[in-house]
């Protein structure tokens, strides 16, 4: 008898029909002889609806109370799913994070799980119940509700699977699995049957939206095998697991892209020690995540510093940059919202020095100008003009034979 954790996102429990579909799927898997723990998100749209209510009564809603409010979204989902399973003749019980004992630190809206109590879950499993747990939420040491941040239900599921030493953690979503590139851009993108944690981490952090980054980190840490698959069909999805038994000979496993970036350049700064530190600590203080950074030192002792940020942060980042022009004796701040990041990902890259060259050559052959470059152990990223992103992804996908 295997213990399986399944996680269903908001679109999977968006309405009564979908909830009943999930109930049937859960019972089907249980009836094959498995113990089942189900993690559910709030119904699609519910979290935004609750946040709108909060903004209606307060300009700056108190974070503790926002978590109290948001926790109701998942509580609705777990109750409805438990009812639907019972109505189909199954045995199911819903549990909030408080009832399970999913302990977190006290950082409201982005809490980290510190401990999970297994007593109640195990008792209910032994009674043959499907145990349905509210995702996204936890409780701190005062027994106050906390939430794990957007997409946190993935993290809840992986943490439960790790604590329960589950045989598999299935993440149900609205796509069939992890692809070599976004199928909307590359029609012949191929679904991976298997991918390593590290590769998945890079894909997730570089813009592939299938899995929540923190959930993959946690799965890697506790070696929890993940199965990413669609709740709309029966197709097998992508298994994400340790790197040992990966498919042979693959160097590049995917092309990721992110069109939601802006590039800012502070031009002609006096090139002396401490300048970069000053800029980026100011940006950090404003809670702005900076992604790629390029510094070019000119011959005249003046440097340009360019960096990319999420488009959502671009206004605030520009404001911070402009506020520093004087102190840096810089010439100007330039901003370009028409930028995209295109990356290739693969664990074999580090020991294959030709990969970077092949990537740049492919882009050059397609007349795509590279504006910035950065590399990690298992990825190479380039910033290119936004309108060329589709062409770039397709060319790289084909050059690295990902469609084969």
Binding site residues, a copy of itself, CB under 8 A? 15-16, 19-20, 23, 50, 53-54, 56-62, 64-66, 68-69, 71-72, 75-76, 78-84, 86-87, 93-94, 96, 98-99, 143-144
Measured between alpha carbons, how far is 67 from 145 in angstroms, rounded to an integer?
6
Measured between alpha carbons, how far is 338 from 274 in angstroms, rounded to an integer?
30
The least distance separating a copy of itself from the CB of residue 61, rounded to whole angstroms, comes to 5
Sheet of 372-376, strands arranged across: 290-297, 302-310, 254-270, 332-345, 379-385, 372-376
The least distance separating a copy of itself from the CB of residue 11, rounded to whole angstroms, comes to 16
The least distance separating a copy of itself from the CB of residue 28, rounded to whole angstroms, comes to 17
For a copy of itself, the closer of residues 101 and 385 by Cβ is: 101
For a copy of itself, the closer of residues 71 and 102 by Cβ is: 71
**Among residues 91, 87, 112, which one has the least CA distance to residue 102?**
112
The least distance separating a copy of itself from the CB of residue 236, rounded to whole angstroms, comes to 28
For a copy of itself, the closer of residues 21 and 403 by Cβ is: 21
The least distance separating a copy of itself from the CB of residue 53, rounded to whole angstroms, comes to 6
Under a CB-based contact definition with an 8 Å cutoff, are residues 310 and 260 in contact? Answer: yes
Please report where in the chains the tokens 């094959």 appear, as a residue. Answer: 32
The least distance separating a copy of itself from the CB of residue 35, rounded to whole angstroms, comes to 20
CA dihedral 220, 129, 237, 73 (to 10 degrees): -80
CA dihedral 32, 34, 39, 44 (to 10 degrees): 0
For a copy of itself, the closer of residues 107 and 398 by Cβ is: 107
For a copy of itself, the closer of residues 101 and 183 by Cβ is: 101
Under a CB-based contact definition with an 8 Å cutoff, are residues 228 and 237 in contact? Answer: yes
For a copy of itself, the closer of residues 144 and 217 by Cβ is: 144
Question: 3-class DSSP state for residue 141?
Answer: coil
The least distance separating a copy of itself from the CB of residue 338, rounded to whole angstroms, comes to 39
Dump the DSSP string for 204-236: HHTT--SS-HHHHHHHHHHT--EEEEESSS---
Measured between alpha carbons, how far is 352 from 64 in angstroms, rounded to an integer?
49
Under a CB-based contact definition with an 8 Å cutoff, are residues 227 and 237 in contact? Answer: yes
For a copy of itself, the closer of residues 107 and 376 by Cβ is: 107
């Amino acid at each position: 008898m295997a213990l399986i954790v399944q996680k269903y996102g908001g679109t999977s429990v968006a309405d009564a029909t979908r909830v009943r579909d999930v109930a049937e799927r859960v019972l089907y898997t249980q009836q094959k002889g498995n113990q089942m723990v189900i993690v559910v998100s709030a119904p699609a749209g519910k979290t935004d609806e609750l946040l709108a209510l909060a903004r209606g009564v307060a300009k700056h809603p108190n974070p503790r109370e926002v978590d109290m409010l948001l926790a109701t979204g998942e509580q609705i989902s777990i109750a409805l799913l438990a009812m639907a399973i019972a109505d189909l003749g199954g045995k199911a019980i819903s549990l909030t994070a408080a009832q399970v004992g999913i302990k977190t630190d006290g950082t409201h809206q982005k809490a980290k799980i510190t401990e999970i109590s297994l007593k109640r879950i195990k008792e209910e499993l032994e009674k043959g119940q499907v145990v349905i747990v509210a995702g996204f939420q936890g409780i701190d040491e005062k027994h106050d509700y906390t939430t794990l941040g957007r997409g946190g239900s993935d993290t809840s599921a992986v943490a439960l699977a790790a604590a329960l030493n589950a045989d598999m953690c299935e993440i149900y979503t609205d796509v069939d699995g992890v692809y070599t590139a976004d199928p909307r851009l590359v029609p012949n993108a191929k679904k991976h049957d298997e991918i390593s944690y590290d590769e998945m981490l890079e894909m997730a952090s570089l813009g592939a939206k299938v899995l929540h980054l923190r959930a993959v980190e946690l799965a890697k840490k506790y070696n929890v095998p993940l199965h990413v698959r669609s709740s709309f069909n029966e197709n097998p999805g992508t298994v994400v697991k340790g790197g040992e038994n990966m498919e042979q000979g693959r160097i590049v496993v995917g092309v990721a892209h992110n069109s939601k970036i802006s590039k800012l350049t502070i031009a002609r700064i006096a090139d002396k020690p401490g300048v970069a530190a000053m800029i980026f600590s100011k940006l950090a203080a404003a809670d702005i995540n900076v992604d790629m950074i390029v510094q070019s030192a000119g011959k005249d002792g003046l440097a340009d510093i360019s960096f990319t940020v999420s488009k959502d942060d671009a206004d605030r980042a520009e404001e911070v940059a402009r506020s520093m022009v004087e102190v840096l004796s810089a010439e100007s701040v330039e901003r370009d919202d028409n930028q995209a990041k295109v990356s290739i990902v693969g664990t074999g890259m580090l020991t294959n020095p030709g990969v970077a060259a092949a990537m740049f050559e492919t882009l050059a052959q397609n007349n795509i100008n590279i504006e910035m470059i950065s590399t990690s152990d298992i990825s190479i990223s380039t910033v290119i003009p936004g309108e060329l992103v589709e062409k770039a992804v397709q060319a790289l996908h084909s050059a690295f034979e990902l469609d084969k």
